[in-house]
Structure 1
Amino acid sequence: MTLIAPHPTVRVNPFDPPPELAKYRQDEPVRRMRYPDGHIGWLVTSHALARKVLADTRFSARSEFKRAPVNRPGADPFYGAPALPGWLVDMDAPEHTRLRQQLAGKFTARRMREMRPRIEAIVDHVLAAMADQGGPVDLVASFALPVPSLVICELLGVPYEDRAEFQRNSEVLFSLTAAADEASEAMDRLYDFLRRLSREGGLGDGLLNLLAADGTLDAEEIAGVGVLLLTAGHESTSSSLALSTLALLAHPEQLAVFRDDPSITDNAVEELLRHLSVFHFGVPRTPTEDLEFEGHLMKAGESVTVSIPSANRDAGWFTDPDRLDFTRKTSGHMAFGYGIHQCLGQNLVRMEMRTALPALFRRFPGLALAVPPEEIPFASDMSVYGVHRLPVTW
């Protein structure tokens, strides 16, 4: 009889998922899993089956059914309850479809290409300030956090001067250790923050004001969309930028390729996204009816966790998947999920990384760690994996 274990959480190598996931993927890609509240649900670890679950509309994304795969008290106010207004990641059709249709056209690859000159200017400004500061510096505070924060503030119309407000509350929401009341209060503060900006005309001509002018979404939905994009829009990109920088420094042969051959930048970014998979505890889904899945009976209401990091390391899809290789074929990676809930802002994340990472190493070709690798504090206590600090010099 297979042991019903919880989701593994301990990494042996900081750039790799917990090693148990590789064994599960090989031996039992759909297996029973014990959730922190004692519920017995499922863990899906292979690339093919991850896509199959996320493409099947019988598996719901509704927050009423969700359970956190690892202990995360801060999710308690939001899981097991109806989705907050505008929080489309916790909805199914038709509510999800209605909200996503209002936003999808604002995040196309073409729109993001149009934003590139502005993103380049933001990156140049941040790097100039970093140079003026002089090394050593914390790359998270000096580069990885300000770049996406400036970009998402400008996109949404939120004043950058208010960044401390949303960054502090966002950190609480993504923390695995925040208490339920702390997370609930942080969410309330973020909604109040967006409502206040809207009332006072403080949103400029950004996306949120465009949504208000359109009149399709109500004020609470616009505030919710704003909170979702503001928090996810800087948290995931910041983690990806910092962790990617560390991965490049830890793989000097790949860094040399990245620095010397601009033609591989786009593919290198895709490979970093695949290899690092910052959403390290997967995507929750719940069957809304009893169904047969790969020879298993999944009952309505049983939680299913789709492991994105494991799917992105599947040798059935990627050759030598545990190796960082900027020349590999990266198509099909699932760093942004899959199916109708695939990350809305993926083209923005790509554009920021394609712009910021090459610029960082052009400006500071001698960039190096300022502390031994073992002293770097990895963010294993957050739902978005990365580093809390990254001291560097040049």
Structure 2
Amino acid sequence: MMRRTLPAGLRPALRQAAEAPAQQPLFIIWRTGFQRRVASMDQMLGFEVRYLTPPFAATWLKPLGYLVQAFRTARIVLARRPAVVWVQSPPSFLPHLLLALRPLAGGFRVVADCHHRVFEPPWSRVPGMVRALNRCDVVLVHNEESRPQAEALGVIPAKLRVLEDPPPTLDLPDPARPPAPEANAGADAGAGPYVLTPCSFADDEPIPVLLAAARLVPEARFLVTGSRRKAAGLGFLRDVPGNVTFTDYLPIPEFERLLGGAAAVLGLTDAEGVQLSVANEALGAHRALVLSDTRILRAMFGAAALFAANTPEDLAARLREALARRPELEAASAALKARRQRDWRVAAAAATALLD
């Protein structure tokens, strides 16, 4: 009769399992560094958060990188022997991995935290994706627009819960302190009102519209965070207005310092179903907020934000309005933050009740 054996590298982790039980839920994320959704939920629920950075930058090495990340995940889970594991998806094969590890680590519960891209190609085409989600104890989607997508693919409705991003509670540094010049690429937060615009330079972000709108609002400066290398590669640095600075990635304390001093925060997307992390960050910092006009953003942030069509003229008009109504909009953001945090605790309690 054949015996099932673990790879030698996993055996020490399995021996440690009985000696080091995890008291907090474990949260596994296959990405680099920091994610605001996870950090904000950690403030509310308390996790042992593990970011597993992709080991290779080259796209063609991703499959090998996934194997490395899978091995690291297995070591962590077998060593910690948690009662509950939360796993962020995509990759949409991560629930498969956790379910395979479950009988080896004490039968932990699995919470699949699913971004809307899980339910769209290519991630929705991973073999056995829906079956794996239906074997999880809880399947979370990030907004109401994702629920029907999940159900249409066959995810069991009784296991589905909507858990939006909660606004963070921020311990903001003093905005009067000048930024570190090397981190901020010459932007001076003390030189007048500025609009903070966090970007990933994804396909849904209309950066040319932002640059054209900035030309129409010369009285404000625009600090655009995110990878300068990516922005340059997409051609966004070729003709930059004088009042726009691409800051590059910033350390979290530096970003939060700029967030706390912004006259307004701007979030842009031309895609429906996207809830922008920057919107909750603006609430957390009690900042005036301007967002692209989409159904989901209006539903989530309509009590505090101003909404603009993705045209230079309308965006410029809403930004000027935000600067003029800054105290009123800052108070609205603070009020909506408190309400959304209360509502989030209720939604989280309903989701985690499925684990009982």
Same fold (TM over 0.5): no
Which is higher, the Rg of structure 1 or of structure 2?
2
Q: Which structure's residues are more often helix, by fraction?
A: 1
Judging by fraction of residues, say which structure has more strand.
2
Higher RCO (CA-CA < 8 Å; seq separation 6+)? 1
Q: TM-score range by the shorter chain?
A: under 0.3
